[in-house]
């Protein structure tokens, strides 16, 4: 009887200690979401965790990631937990490497479909490439996100770097990545979109 009572206490303790989340959110991104150039605690995803404490937020972002890499990793990420919302922040490295926009669209399409097939909502973050890539490429690249938003009837979050990149004090020395001071601003930009998506 003593052993049985002990086991009951242990089980009860674990039941109380296991957190219960309202929803589980997966951020599937690249260096902009991985906190490149700073500690994980300073990045906008961790700041978002501090804002949305009732939700579990999994940061599946990897610096240098392309849409192809994100697509390869997604099945394991979806299998790791019961994901309610997938926030897709990918494509910047595809653009920087001059990958064809049709390949970008194909990969993002598969990411969206795989997420939805697993019962998750999808929030797509717009990505833009610099104008020095030429008007034809930049227009084709940028239009992919709007086309997918319409095709799948999903919300498209405007590119948060548009508010940050013009301010040198918010950018790292490479001129590509936001610095630590920019992270609260990114959190403030993303949080309402994510909250609204979770209501649907």
Residues classed as catalytic:
31, 174, 177
Burial of 87 (0-12, 13-18, 19+ CB in 10 A): buried
Residue (of 67, 49, 47) closest to 111 by Cα position = 67
The C-alpha atoms of residue 162 and residue 54 are separated, in whole angstroms, by 29
The C-alpha atoms of residue 101 and residue 28 are separated, in whole angstroms, by 19
Contacts of 141 (CB under 8 A, 6+ apart): 91, 95, 101, 104, 128, 129, 133
């Amino acid at each position: 009887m003593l052993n049985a009572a002990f086991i009951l206490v242990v089980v009860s303790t674990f039941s109380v200690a296991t957190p219960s989340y309202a929803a589980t959110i997966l951020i599937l991104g690249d260096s902009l979401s991985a906190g490149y150039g700073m500690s994980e605690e300073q990045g906008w995803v961790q700041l978002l965790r501090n804002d949305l404490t009732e939700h579990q937020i999994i940061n599946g972002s990897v610096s240098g990631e392309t849409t192809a890499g994100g697509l390869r990793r997604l099945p394991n990420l979806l299998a790791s937990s019961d994901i309610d919302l997938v926030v897709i922040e990918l494509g910047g490295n595809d653009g920087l490497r001059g990958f064809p926009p049709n390949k970008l669209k194909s990969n993002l399409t598969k990411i969206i479909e795989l997420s939805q097939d697993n019962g998750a909502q999808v929030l797509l973050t717009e990505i833009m490439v610099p104008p020095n890539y030429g008007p034809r490429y930049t227009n084709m690249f940028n239009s992919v996100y709007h086309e997918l938003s319409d095709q799948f009837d999903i919300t498209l979050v405007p590119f948060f770097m548009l508010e940050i990149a013009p301010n040198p004090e918010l950018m790292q020395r490479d001129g590509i990545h936001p610095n630590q001071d920019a992270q609260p601003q990114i959190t403030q930009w993303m949080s309402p979109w994510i909250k609204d998506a979770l209501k649907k």
